[in-house]
Structure 1
Amino acid sequence: MALKVIIREVIVSDQLELAGSSVFLRNDQQIIGTGRAIQIAARGKNRVAELAAGWKEILATAEIDNQSGISSAGLIALTSITFSENSSQDSVLYVPMITKVYRGEVGFEVIIEGPKTLENDLQPVLGSFQDGSFTSDAFRSAVGQSLEAFSATDLEKVVIGRDLLMPIDSRPNLAIPLKRLHDRYPDCWTYAVGDVFGASPELLLRAQKGEVSARVLAGTAGRGTDPDVDRAISEGLAHSQKNRHEHEFAVNSMVQALQPFCDFVQADSEPFSLALPDLWHLATDVKGELRDGVTLLDAIAELHPTAAVAGTPTQLAELLIDELEPFDRAGYAGPVGWLSSNGDGELAIALRGGIIEPNQIRAIAGCGIVSESDPEAELAETELKFKAVRYAFAAESL
């Protein structure tokens, strides 16, 4: 059955209505969806291609009545794709029943005609996270095993994640944690799509009028409390052999993966230090122009997973991750974001957050392990990265 879609202009609101919503927020761009009019789910190696084919079928039959007068307005879908093809969880793409899109002073609402069923019984949840299935000692041991693998195989980098757990009684209302994340990290992509949530500093790929762009992050250091110390930390990160080594793998992986889909690909010649409230990251911006007929999901299918979340070579890294990590990443470290019927879209990497599981929330933070890595330093890096989710769910804001 064809979707009957009405798009109309709305007044931009200063109050975010996040209870029970799917969201993708950054600065003054806010996408807020309620309910699900239609959903596609897929698993396995071809999961992205199946979602892409399903999205094309939706667009082929959708009857879109754009009453907004905004030429860039279109039907919006939200998607969350699992990190691994071996995940026991679904990758999903769904069209909300109602989607509000705010961009600066411009706002529009996408309404799917038909009965509306919304989730109103969600329970607010705040609290603290405790060690998960990967204890500190187990994580340090896994880093050590990764270092041994560099000597025994062709592996050059692997990203190992550690988890924390918080018990819950029912499906959680994430309105408070999401608002905290968006307020504290406005330059990050705050997301809640399917079963994943967080505030990611890393854009995987954006498509706008045929052009694509990405921001690659790899290499991390904690912020200093004193301005001079903070500046010294930033400069130290930029000159750290270990961090630049890790970063180079991630950038090369992105460029090589994009080249088959683009007429040209261009990356910054040198990384820059990106400041977040808790962390410094080494960052590089990558840009390109999509070939005719190539969609955002076509590129994502080949691009994911990048070296930033898996390692180099990818297949060896994924095998080691499956061997060492005692949990299913599900949508963590996978692509998450939105697509528009006009061909535009934006997918971040689902980081600095976690996944909603039956009776618990699992927060995950990962580190890029290279030959210069130290197990104790990598453990400390996970604690830095957990600051965001601990803050978001704290019973009292920190």
Structure 2
Amino acid sequence: MALKALIRKITASDQLELAGSSVFLRNDQQIIGTGSAIQIAAKGKNRVAELAAGWKEILATAEIDNQSGISSAGLIALTSITFSENSSRDSVLYVPMVTRVHRGNVGFEVTIEGAEALPKNLQPVLGSFQDGSFSAEAFKAAVGKALEAFSTTTLEKVVIGRDLLMPIDSRPNLAVPLKRLHERYPDCWTYAVGDVFGASPELLLRAQNGEVSARVLAGTAGRGTDPDVDRAIAEGLANSQKNRHEHEFAVNSMVQALEPFCDFVQADSEPFSLALPDLWHLATDVKGELRDGVTLLDAIAKLHPTAAVAGTPTLLAEALIDELEPFDRAGYAGPVGWLSSNGDGELAIALRGGIIEPNQIRAIAGCGIVTESDPEAELAETDLKFKAVRYAFAAESL
């Protein structure tokens, strides 16, 4: 079906209309989509390539009438890609019926012919999370098995996740949790696309005017309440052999994966400590220039999963994750974000959130396990990472 899209200029809005919406928010950039005009679903090893081909087919037939006067405005698609090719859940790419895009004072709206009215007065879901299919003791045991694998295989790093569950009666309206996440973590990418949601601190890949950029995070420490203690924690993180070891794997994985698609790739020579409200992360920025004819999804197909969410070597790490984790990650730790008909786009890694399942919400937090890891410390790290989702869904704001 050929889409007919009208793009018009709209005034900037401070009021986020999040009820029943798909979103991708960061600082003063807001992408808010309602409904689905057309959707592509894919499973298995070639899921990203199938979504990329479907997006190209949509663009080849779409009739786009840009009346906004904004040269960068285009038809917008949202996508969520599963972490694993073995997931039972779909990877999806869809064009919303209505998409509102705000960047600072510039805004435009993409309306697909035949768009339906927006939902009104939906009730939000709030509540508390309890232990999921992976208890604290079971998680520590899994970390122990991962440590054993370092001495019996060529494994160098593996990311093991732990889950929490909250029961729900029906498809939830995430308006309140998403608003809380965006306000508390404005420098993160707050997202709700398909069945995944959260506020990710990690940009997987951004494309703009033929250039790509990424921010790699690996290595974590909790924030201190006293400024001097907090600075000492950041310095300790920057000098931690375990965390630097974990971070090096993630950066090297990103650079090596990007090189075939770029004329050049460069990474910061040293990581920096990135401050979030609850955590410190070691971070490194990576930049490159895409080769002619290469799209964002082309690069993502080879880039995902990085060592930051799977491990090193990738295939060995993925096999151990399948063996140790008693749940389907679905879109958690997979690419999530938006694409534009002009070739631009942003895909974050779906972290600090969870997935919507029948009758429940599953929150997931993972840790990078290397030879220096300690099971008790890794468990504590998951508790730190769960703070975001617990805050978002608390019956009263914490």
TM-score if structure 2 supplies the norm length? 0.99
Give aligned-pair identity as a percent. Answer: 90
Secondary structure of the equivalent of 2:197? strand
Report what 2:50 is aligned to.
50
State the alpha-carbon separation in 2 of the partners of residues 121 and 69 from structure 1.
33
Report what 1:165 is aligned to.
165
Secondary structure of the equivalent of 2:116? coil
State the alpha-carbon separation in 2 of the partners of residues 157 and 115 from structure 1.
47
Any gaps of 5 or more consecutive residues in structure 1?
A: none
1:32 is aligned to 2:32:
yes
Report what 2:300 is aligned to.
300
Report what 1:212 is aligned to.
212
C-alpha contact (below 8 Å) 1:35/1:119 kept by paired residues: no
C-alpha deviation, 1:123, in angstroms:
3.7
Report what 1:395 is aligned to.
395
Secondary structure of the equivalent of 1:182? helix
1:12 is aligned to 2:12:
yes
Report what 2:338 is aligned to.
338
Counterpart amino acid of residue 198 in structure 1? G
Report what 1:253 is aligned to.
253
Report what 1:150 is aligned to.
150
* Deviation by residue 1:172-231 (Cα, 9 ceiling, x = unmatched): 010000000000000000000000000000000000000000000000000000000000
State the alpha-carbon separation in 1 of the partners of residues 84 and 73 from structure 2.
32
State the alpha-carbon separation in 2 of the partners of residues 387 and 183 from structure 1.
15
Counterpart amino acid of residue 235 in structure 1? E
Counterpart amino acid of residue 375 in structure 1? P
* Deviation by residue 1:122-177 (Cα, 9 ceiling, x = unmatched): 54110100000000000000000000000000000000000000000000010000
Number of aligned pairs? 398
Report what 2:222 is aligned to.
222
Report what 1:136 is aligned to.
136
Secondary structure of the equivalent of 1:86? coil
Secondary structure of the equivalent of 2:77? strand
State the alpha-carbon separation in 2 of the partners of residues 195 and 237 from structure 1.
33
1:68 is aligned to 2:68:
yes
1:112 is aligned to 2:119:
no
Report what 2:176 is aligned to.
176
C-alpha contact (below 8 Å) 1:123/1:171 kept by paired residues: no
State the alpha-carbon separation in 2 of the partners of residues 6 and 115 from structure 1.
11
State the alpha-carbon separation in 1 of the partners of residues 36 and 304 from structure 2.
26
* Deviation by residue 1:298-349 (Cα, 9 ceiling, x = unmatched): 0000000000000000000000000000000000000000000000000000
Which one is further off, 110-119 or 357-366? Answer: 110-119
Counterpart amino acid of residue 187 in structure 2? D
Secondary structure of the equivalent of 1:164? strand
Report what 1:78 is aligned to.
78
Secondary structure of the equivalent of 1:293? coil
Secondary structure of the equivalent of 2:65? strand
Counterpart amino acid of residue 51 in structure 1? L
Q: How does 1:280-359 map to 2 (within 5 A)?
A: 280-359=280-359
Report what 1:190 is aligned to.
190
State the alpha-carbon separation in 2 of the partners of residues 46 and 177 from structure 1.
33
State the alpha-carbon separation in 2 of the partners of residues 70 and 121 from structure 1.
32
State the alpha-carbon separation in 2 of the partners of residues 353 and 122 from structure 1.
21
RMSD: 0.8
State the alpha-carbon separation in 2 of the partners of residues 352 and 95 from structure 1.
25
State the alpha-carbon separation in 1 of the partners of residues 115 and 272 from structure 2.
49
Counterpart amino acid of residue 343 in structure 1? G
C-alpha contact (below 8 Å) 2:98/2:115 kept by paired residues: no
State the alpha-carbon separation in 1 of the partners of residues 385 and 321 from structure 2.
19
State the alpha-carbon separation in 1 of the partners of residues 117 and 246 from structure 2.
46
State the alpha-carbon separation in 2 of the partners of residues 344 and 259 from structure 1.
19
C-alpha contact (below 8 Å) 1:25/1:190 kept by paired residues: yes
* Deviation by residue 1:19-56 (Cα, 9 ceiling, x = unmatched): 00000000000000000000000000000000000000
C-alpha contact (below 8 Å) 1:257/1:302 kept by paired residues: yes
C-alpha deviation, 1:114, in angstroms:
1.1
Q: Which runs of 4+ in 1 moved over 4 A?
A: 117-122
Q: 1:171 to 1:119 in 2, by over 3 A?
A: farther
Counterpart amino acid of residue 320 in structure 1? L
State the alpha-carbon separation in 1 of the partners of residues 311 and 84 from structure 2.
13
State the alpha-carbon separation in 2 of the partners of residues 131 and 188 from structure 1.
26
